Amino acid sequence: MNLLITVLGVVQGVGYRPFVARLADELGITGTVRNSGGNVHIIAQGDQTQLDLFVRTLSERRPPDADVIQILTEPAVTDDEYYDFQIIRSSGSVDYTPLLPIDLPVCRTCMD
């Protein structure tokens, strides 16, 4: 099963993508995470129990400087099969100013 997860809030420049990748590895989720248009988009692949736990954990835990406002989920329309979990290059245009943490440098891992 594939799930598209969109995370809204202060999720860029705070180590959110590496956090998601570590959590996915911990829970046996495959797929991708990327920044897109000021949000974080995750394609998560796993069984229903794994995906439920993944989404629940995303809503309960986060990097120290992140501020998640909302997590949206919907079935992902893709036939791709993932064998691991990867952080992929940011994409998309920003139609608004993304929420960024005040007075924090962008973490090295998030520079991509």
Q: How far is CA 34 from the centre of its chain?
A: 6
* H-run or E-run covering 75: strand 67-75
Q: Answer with the residue of higher pLDDT: 91 or 90.
A: 90
Q: What is the pLDDT of residue 46?
A: 96
| DSSP 8-state code for residue 90 | -
Q: What is the pLDDT of residue 104?
A: 60
CB within 8 Å of 108: residues ≥ 6 apart: none
Q: What is the mean pLDDT of the chain?
A: 87
Q: What is the pLDDT of residue 13?
A: 83
What domains does the chain contain, in order, with CATH numbers?
A: 2-90+103-111 (3.30.70.100)
Euclidean distance between CA atoms 85 and 78, whole angstroms: 15
Q: Both ends of the chain: CA-CA distance in Å?
A: 28
Total-model pTM: 0.82
Q: How many percent of the chain have pLDDT more than 70?
A: 80
- 93 pLDDT tier (thresholds 50, 70, 90): low
Euclidean distance between CA atoms 111 and 3, whole angstroms: 26
Q: What is the pLDDT of residue 79?
A: 85
Q: Which two tokens stand for residue 37?
A: 């248009």
Instruction: Indicate which residues carry an active-site annotation.
Output: 17, 35
The tens digit of pLDDT for each residue in 34-68 reads 998 889 999 999 999 999 999 999 999 999 989 99
